[in-house]
Chains A and B, each alone.
Chain A
Amino acid sequence: MVGLNHFLVLSAVLFCLGLFGVITRKNAITVLMGLEMILNAASLNFVAISRYVTNAADGQVVSLFIIVLAASEAAIALAIVLNLYKNFYNVNIDEINTLKE
Protein backbone atom coordinates (compact mmCIF):
# COMPACT_ATOMS: atom_id res chain seq x y z
CA MET A 1 0.00 0.00 0.00
CA VAL A 2 1.42 3.34 -1.05
CA GLY A 3 1.57 6.03 1.63
CA LEU A 4 3.29 9.27 2.36
CA ASN A 5 6.69 7.64 2.81
CA HIS A 6 6.73 6.36 -0.77
CA PHE A 7 6.26 9.85 -2.15
CA LEU A 8 8.90 11.25 0.19
CA VAL A 9 11.43 8.59 -0.86
CA LEU A 10 10.70 9.27 -4.53
CA SER A 11 11.30 12.98 -4.11
CA ALA A 12 14.48 12.34 -2.09
CA VAL A 13 15.84 10.23 -4.96
CA LEU A 14 14.84 12.93 -7.44
CA PHE A 15 16.58 15.59 -5.34
CA CYS A 16 19.81 13.59 -5.15
CA LEU A 17 19.81 12.90 -8.90
CA GLY A 18 19.40 16.62 -9.53
CA LEU A 19 22.22 17.42 -7.11
CA PHE A 20 24.47 14.91 -8.90
CA GLY A 21 23.66 16.59 -12.21
CA VAL A 22 24.39 20.06 -10.86
CA ILE A 23 27.78 18.97 -9.56
CA THR A 24 28.96 16.84 -12.47
CA ARG A 25 27.77 18.74 -15.54
CA LYS A 26 29.87 21.34 -17.34
CA ASN A 27 27.24 22.78 -19.63
CA ALA A 28 25.26 25.65 -18.08
CA ILE A 29 21.96 24.47 -19.58
CA THR A 30 22.35 21.00 -18.08
CA VAL A 31 23.05 22.56 -14.70
CA LEU A 32 19.75 24.38 -15.18
CA MET A 33 18.03 21.02 -15.87
CA GLY A 34 19.41 19.67 -12.59
CA LEU A 35 17.99 22.70 -10.81
CA GLU A 36 14.58 22.04 -12.34
CA MET A 37 14.72 18.47 -11.02
CA ILE A 38 15.51 19.75 -7.51
CA LEU A 39 12.61 22.22 -7.64
CA ASN A 40 10.27 19.45 -8.80
CA ALA A 41 11.32 17.26 -5.89
CA ALA A 42 10.51 20.09 -3.48
CA SER A 43 7.10 20.74 -4.97
CA LEU A 44 6.26 17.02 -4.98
CA ASN A 45 7.10 17.00 -1.26
CA PHE A 46 4.82 19.99 -0.61
CA VAL A 47 1.86 18.41 -2.39
CA ALA A 48 2.34 14.98 -0.78
CA ILE A 49 2.60 16.38 2.74
CA SER A 50 -0.37 18.69 2.29
CA ARG A 51 -2.38 15.70 1.03
CA TYR A 52 -1.44 13.22 3.72
CA VAL A 53 -0.83 15.34 6.82
CA THR A 54 -3.03 18.42 6.74
CA ASN A 55 -5.43 17.58 3.88
CA ALA A 56 -5.69 21.27 3.01
CA ALA A 57 -4.77 23.02 -0.24
CA ASP A 58 -1.97 25.12 1.26
CA GLY A 59 0.79 22.89 -0.06
CA GLN A 60 -0.65 23.08 -3.55
CA VAL A 61 -0.57 26.89 -3.37
CA VAL A 62 3.11 26.81 -2.39
CA SER A 63 3.73 24.36 -5.21
CA LEU A 64 2.11 26.78 -7.65
CA PHE A 65 4.44 29.51 -6.39
CA ILE A 66 7.41 27.18 -6.91
CA ILE A 67 6.34 26.57 -10.51
CA VAL A 68 6.07 30.33 -11.14
CA LEU A 69 9.50 30.94 -9.65
CA ALA A 70 10.98 28.08 -11.70
CA ALA A 71 9.54 29.58 -14.88
CA SER A 72 11.01 33.01 -14.19
CA GLU A 73 14.34 31.48 -13.17
CA ALA A 74 14.51 29.50 -16.41
CA ALA A 75 13.75 32.60 -18.50
CA ILE A 76 16.44 34.71 -16.81
CA ALA A 77 18.99 31.88 -16.84
CA LEU A 78 18.54 31.25 -20.54
CA ALA A 79 18.89 34.96 -21.31
CA ILE A 80 22.16 34.91 -19.36
CA VAL A 81 23.29 31.77 -21.21
CA LEU A 82 22.59 33.39 -24.59
CA ASN A 83 24.63 36.43 -23.56
CA LEU A 84 27.48 34.20 -22.41
CA TYR A 85 27.45 32.40 -25.73
CA LYS A 86 27.54 35.73 -27.53
CA ASN A 87 30.63 36.82 -25.57
CA PHE A 88 32.59 33.61 -24.96
CA TYR A 89 31.36 31.30 -27.79
CA ASN A 90 30.75 28.46 -25.36
CA VAL A 91 28.62 27.83 -22.28
CA ASN A 92 31.07 25.78 -20.22
CA ILE A 93 30.86 27.07 -16.69
CA ASP A 94 34.47 26.00 -16.08
CA GLU A 95 35.87 28.36 -18.68
CA ILE A 96 33.68 31.34 -17.93
CA ASN A 97 35.52 32.99 -15.08
CA THR A 98 35.58 36.66 -15.98
CA LEU A 99 32.86 39.28 -15.93
CA LYS A 100 34.09 40.79 -19.20
CA GLU A 101 35.76 39.19 -22.17
Chain B
Amino acid sequence: MELFDLFFYIFAAIIVVAGAVTVLNKNLIYSAFALLILLSGVAVMFFLLGAEFLAMVQILIYVGGIMILVVFGIMLTGQIKSVPVRENFLYLLIASVVSGLLCGLLVTGITSRPAQFLTSVVESTSLRSLGNLLIGKYYLIFGILGVLLLVILIAAAGMARNNRE
Protein backbone atom coordinates (compact mmCIF):
# COMPACT_ATOMS: atom_id res chain seq x y z
CA MET B 1 0.00 0.00 0.00
CA GLU B 2 2.81 2.36 0.96
CA LEU B 3 4.69 1.53 -2.22
CA PHE B 4 1.55 2.14 -4.30
CA ASP B 5 1.24 5.69 -2.90
CA LEU B 6 4.93 6.38 -3.47
CA PHE B 7 4.71 5.23 -7.09
CA PHE B 8 1.57 7.26 -7.67
CA TYR B 9 3.09 10.51 -6.37
CA ILE B 10 6.39 10.08 -8.21
CA PHE B 11 4.74 9.37 -11.55
CA ALA B 12 2.05 12.02 -11.07
CA ALA B 13 4.82 14.59 -10.57
CA ILE B 14 6.62 13.29 -13.67
CA ILE B 15 3.40 13.53 -15.72
CA VAL B 16 2.61 17.09 -14.62
CA VAL B 17 6.17 18.35 -15.18
CA ALA B 18 6.34 16.66 -18.59
CA GLY B 19 2.99 18.17 -19.52
CA ALA B 20 4.17 21.65 -18.56
CA VAL B 21 7.34 21.19 -20.63
CA THR B 22 5.28 19.96 -23.59
CA VAL B 23 3.04 22.99 -23.47
CA LEU B 24 5.61 25.70 -22.68
CA ASN B 25 8.86 24.71 -24.39
CA LYS B 26 9.84 26.62 -27.52
CA ASN B 27 11.87 23.79 -29.03
CA LEU B 28 9.49 21.40 -30.76
CA ILE B 29 11.73 18.36 -30.40
CA TYR B 30 12.00 18.86 -26.62
CA SER B 31 8.24 19.26 -26.58
CA ALA B 32 7.77 15.98 -28.43
CA PHE B 33 10.09 14.10 -26.09
CA ALA B 34 8.36 15.54 -23.04
CA LEU B 35 5.09 14.27 -24.52
CA LEU B 36 6.74 10.85 -24.86
CA ILE B 37 7.63 10.87 -21.15
CA LEU B 38 4.07 11.96 -20.33
CA LEU B 39 2.54 9.09 -22.32
CA SER B 40 4.84 6.58 -20.62
CA GLY B 41 3.80 8.03 -17.27
CA VAL B 42 0.14 7.53 -18.16
CA ALA B 43 1.02 3.92 -19.04
CA VAL B 44 2.47 3.53 -15.53
CA MET B 45 -0.80 4.93 -14.14
CA PHE B 46 -2.67 2.23 -16.08
CA PHE B 47 -0.37 -0.35 -14.47
CA LEU B 48 -1.17 1.06 -11.04
CA LEU B 49 -4.89 0.82 -11.82
CA GLY B 50 -4.54 -2.87 -12.67
CA ALA B 51 -4.97 -2.47 -16.42
CA GLU B 52 -1.80 -4.16 -17.67
CA PHE B 53 -3.08 -4.85 -21.16
CA LEU B 54 -4.08 -1.23 -21.60
CA ALA B 55 -0.65 -0.07 -20.39
CA MET B 56 1.00 -2.28 -23.00
CA VAL B 57 -1.33 -0.97 -25.71
CA GLN B 58 -0.58 2.57 -24.61
CA ILE B 59 3.16 2.02 -24.92
CA LEU B 60 2.85 0.18 -28.25
CA ILE B 61 0.46 2.56 -29.98
CA TYR B 62 1.15 5.93 -28.38
CA VAL B 63 4.86 5.75 -27.69
CA GLY B 64 5.67 3.48 -30.62
CA GLY B 65 3.25 4.77 -33.22
CA ILE B 66 1.80 8.20 -32.61
CA MET B 67 5.03 9.70 -31.29
CA ILE B 68 6.92 8.47 -34.35
CA LEU B 69 4.27 10.12 -36.53
CA VAL B 70 4.56 13.38 -34.58
CA VAL B 71 8.37 13.40 -34.77
CA PHE B 72 8.17 12.67 -38.51
CA GLY B 73 5.73 15.54 -38.89
CA ILE B 74 8.02 17.92 -37.01
CA MET B 75 11.06 16.95 -39.04
CA LEU B 76 9.30 16.98 -42.42
CA THR B 77 7.87 20.43 -41.85
CA GLY B 78 11.28 21.63 -40.77
CA GLN B 79 10.25 23.85 -37.89
CA ILE B 80 12.42 22.56 -35.14
CA LYS B 81 13.99 25.43 -33.27
CA SER B 82 12.44 28.41 -31.54
CA VAL B 83 8.90 27.97 -32.70
CA PRO B 84 7.09 30.92 -31.19
CA VAL B 85 4.50 30.46 -28.53
CA ARG B 86 1.70 32.87 -29.29
CA GLU B 87 3.32 36.18 -28.36
CA ASN B 88 0.00 37.98 -28.29
CA PHE B 89 -0.59 38.81 -24.64
CA LEU B 90 -4.36 38.56 -25.01
CA TYR B 91 -4.21 34.89 -26.02
CA LEU B 92 -1.91 34.03 -23.13
CA LEU B 93 -4.25 35.82 -20.75
CA ILE B 94 -7.34 34.09 -22.11
CA ALA B 95 -5.63 30.70 -22.06
CA SER B 96 -4.36 31.13 -18.49
CA VAL B 97 -7.72 32.34 -17.21
CA VAL B 98 -9.75 29.65 -18.97
CA SER B 99 -7.54 26.69 -18.11
CA GLY B 100 -6.74 27.95 -14.60
CA LEU B 101 -10.39 28.53 -13.76
CA LEU B 102 -11.41 25.19 -15.23
CA CYS B 103 -8.65 23.41 -13.32
CA GLY B 104 -9.64 25.06 -10.04
CA LEU B 105 -13.30 24.29 -10.61
CA LEU B 106 -12.63 20.63 -11.41
CA VAL B 107 -10.25 20.13 -8.48
CA THR B 108 -12.59 21.72 -5.94
CA GLY B 109 -15.48 19.73 -7.38
CA ILE B 110 -13.58 16.48 -7.14
CA THR B 111 -12.17 17.03 -3.65
CA SER B 112 -15.49 18.18 -2.21
CA ARG B 113 -16.99 14.72 -2.55
CA PRO B 114 -15.99 11.90 -0.19
CA ALA B 115 -12.88 10.01 -1.11
CA GLN B 116 -13.21 6.49 -2.43
CA PHE B 117 -10.65 3.84 -1.62
CA LEU B 118 -10.13 0.19 -2.37
CA THR B 119 -9.16 -2.38 0.20
CA SER B 120 -7.03 -4.48 -2.14
CA VAL B 121 -5.09 -2.44 -4.61
CA VAL B 122 -3.00 -4.89 -6.58
CA GLU B 123 -5.63 -6.93 -8.37
CA SER B 124 -5.70 -6.83 -12.14
CA THR B 125 -8.71 -7.31 -14.35
CA SER B 126 -8.31 -10.49 -16.30
CA LEU B 127 -7.59 -10.34 -19.98
CA ARG B 128 -10.36 -12.89 -20.50
CA SER B 129 -13.08 -10.51 -19.30
CA LEU B 130 -11.69 -7.72 -21.47
CA GLY B 131 -11.77 -9.95 -24.54
CA ASN B 132 -15.27 -11.17 -23.71
CA LEU B 133 -16.48 -7.58 -23.53
CA LEU B 134 -14.76 -6.72 -26.82
CA ILE B 135 -16.43 -9.48 -28.82
CA GLY B 136 -19.60 -9.67 -26.72
CA LYS B 137 -21.11 -6.47 -25.46
CA TYR B 138 -19.17 -4.04 -27.63
CA TYR B 139 -18.81 -6.14 -30.80
CA LEU B 140 -20.52 -3.54 -32.99
CA ILE B 141 -18.18 -0.71 -31.96
CA PHE B 142 -15.25 -3.09 -32.34
CA GLY B 143 -16.25 -3.88 -35.91
CA ILE B 144 -16.95 -0.27 -36.81
CA LEU B 145 -13.54 0.74 -35.47
CA GLY B 146 -11.91 -1.94 -37.60
CA VAL B 147 -13.56 -0.54 -40.73
CA LEU B 148 -12.64 2.98 -39.61
CA LEU B 149 -8.98 2.03 -39.27
CA LEU B 150 -8.97 0.61 -42.80
CA VAL B 151 -10.56 3.80 -44.18
CA ILE B 152 -8.09 5.96 -42.25
CA LEU B 153 -5.15 3.94 -43.55
CA ILE B 154 -6.21 4.39 -47.17
CA ALA B 155 -7.18 8.04 -46.69
CA ALA B 156 -3.97 9.04 -44.93
CA ALA B 157 -1.82 7.31 -47.55
CA GLY B 158 -3.80 8.98 -50.34
CA MET B 159 -3.65 12.41 -48.76
CA ALA B 160 0.04 12.38 -47.91
CA ARG B 161 1.02 11.18 -51.39
CA ASN B 162 2.66 13.76 -53.57
CA ASN B 163 0.26 14.04 -56.51
CA ARG B 164 1.55 17.28 -57.97
CA GLU B 165 3.49 15.82 -60.85
The answer to whether A83 touches B19 (Cβ under 8 A) is no
Chain B positions 111-165 with a Cβ under 8 Å from a chain A Cβ: 111, 113, 115-118, 125, 129-130, 133-134, 137-138, 141, 145, 148-149, 152-153, 155-156, 159-160, 162, 164
In the assembled complex, the Cα of A90 lies from the Cα of B83 at a distance in Å of 11
The answer to whether A91 touches B62 (Cβ under 8 A) is no
Interface string of A1-36 (1 = CB under 8 A from B): 111111111101111111111011111011011101
Min CB–CB distance A87 → chain B (angstroms): 10
Q: Give the number of chain A interface residues (Cβ < 8 Å).
A: 67
- Report which of B4, B16, B85 forms a contact with A24, defined as CB distance below 8 A: B85
Offer 21 A-B interface pairs, CB within 8 angstroms, sorted by A: A2-B4, A3-B118, A5-B113, A7-B45, A10-B45, A13-B103, A13-B107, A15-B102, A20-B99, A24-B23, A27-B28, A29-B74, A36-B66, A40-B62, A56-B129, A60-B51, A63-B54, A72-B152, A79-B155, A79-B160, A82-B77
Q: Which B residues have a C-beta under 8 Å from some C-beta of A?
A: 1, 4-5, 8-9, 12, 15-16, 19-20, 22-23, 28, 31-32, 35, 38-39, 42, 45-46, 49-51, 53-54, 57-58, 61-62, 65-66, 69-70, 72-74, 76-79, 83-86, 91-92, 94-96, 98-100, 102-103, 106-107, 110-111, 113, 115-118, 125, 129-130, 133-134, 137-138, 141, 145, 148-149, 152-153, 155-156, 159-160, 162, 164
